[in-house]
Chain A
Amino acid sequence: QEKVVKIGLLTDFSGVFAQLAKDIEDAWMLAYDERGGMIAGHKIEIIREDAENSPQVAVQKANKLIKSDGVAVFGGLISSGGGIALAGLADQEKVPFVAGFAVADELTGKYCSPYVARTSFAANALQSAAGAYWASEGAKTAVFMGPDYAAGHAMRDGFRRGFEGGGGEVVLEIMTPLGSTRDWGPSLLRAQQSNAEMIYSFYAGSEAVQVVKQHSDFAMKQSMPLRGDMWLYDEALWSAMGGAQLDAVQITVYTNALETEASERFKEAFKKKYDRLPVASNAMGYTNANAIFDALAVAIEENNGELPEDGAKIITALSNLELDDPRGPVRFNASNNAVQDELYMIRIVEGPEGLHHELIAHTPYGEDLPGCDM
């Protein structure tokens, strides 16, 4: 009889993260194909569930995966709140959870657990790297603009840490109500009044579209460029931005302009399967799936070809992995959080086949906030 290992892909297929979720799923399926659907003599069965960008639903679906389907491990989640909820649940139910995109620092800080790992990154690390980069480029003053909620605060703190650590100054913070801001005019004007050199911003989805478009409408692109991260200038938003994104510079954990060996391999495989180039969220999903599969393989082999009883073993195995990832080498720190060597600064440029990324710099990975004792 064939041995099966069940893995839950629990992520936010509906809601604002729908596109990201689909990207992650696509990457998971690629990783699955690459292994022929098998790990360590076990057939992989992926059960996908929609967390709907709601922690309540995430918990309910995780309960289903754990109690009804009996998954060995589940991963994928994007939203931070949901991620934290699942971290608690995983810890209680002793079933490992590997966050795919959830960025809250607490996930592998305050709430870290032997049953929880993350393959993406923590907010603070990414943004402090961005801050450090812009400071090193000579920017002295910046306005930070972002949504007024936990993730926004985390991003802001990270950017501040990097930027001010590098000698710059955040002269103004503009935190807008999440989901209920209908016009960015007043905030952009406030930024303009501050006479800072640049705006650094974290927004996602439709809010990102509106901020970028209105920033351009108010003719601020020259006087006070809007810089951000891979959420702000996500490829999925390009068609809605109407060209306002052109020339913008951003930080990212992965870009298909990266030409390392691992990246080329990934791009080729992805293109073959989906007939398009992967984007950052695909890469994130790819890391997530590979880390889970590899960790399972190690854990099963160490347990004489059987799935270990204790799910913590899977996380331990994962934490010891070193991945030759498209993003660059990825390792895990003591809190089971992914760390990569360097990050990438990219610019959106126009080419014969439309807009694409241009890699303009590599920049060192930011330092994670202190983790926890498990």
Chain B
Amino acid sequence: MSEPDKGTNGSILAVSDIHTYYGDSHILQGVSLEVRRGECTALLGRNGAGKTTTLRSIVGLTPARSGRIVFANQDISGWTTHRIVRLGLGYVPENRGIFSNLTVREHLMVAVWASGVSSQRLDQVLAIFPRISERMDNLGQQLSGGEQQMLSIARALLGEPDLLVLDEPSEGLAPIIVNEVSDTLARIKETGTSILLVEQNAEMALSLADSVTILSQGRVQFSGTPKELEEAPRISEAYLGVSV
């Protein structure tokens, strides 16, 4: 359905020059980035660089104090979170956002209720993570770390969002599942979903990304394609601590 967008495409998400604070500390000092329709943008950086804060600003959980965020052709600066999300956004937060006192089934029920999708969709998503289906009646707090992560991803996929915002989705997953996730993301990108991906697993991130933004200390240090990044090893050495 979103095929015609591709190519012609503007961006689905454009963040320009946002400044975000936690209390008095000025964390994001003018961050700009873009996710083009049907593409994947990877946001990389060392611990404490401001990646999560950027995502939280976009989703409206820690609103930026200044700057502009345009999502799906709407200026969403200052919007409440649930309104933003209803525009077609799926979010996998850093801490996984699992509800400790809900069973897996209830998690999925709530997600279905919130996004109004059919239960058929549920089966499709569960097929990606068979492990989850084995744990339907466990409480969130009884899941293993990796199972929580899978549930969090599944939940975001469930709503068929136009933009997936993922904060370290591979964290705590077994290598084989990381591959699975990576493949899944590649597949849904094919169907036109756009992705904003924060990852410490640079390998996975770069294999998926169409463009890369690197943050350090709340500022953008690099913005370009994965290929350009590979050709500039000094940048990745300096801001990621590895050469890619």
Q: Do chains A and B touch in the complex (CB under 8 A)?
A: no
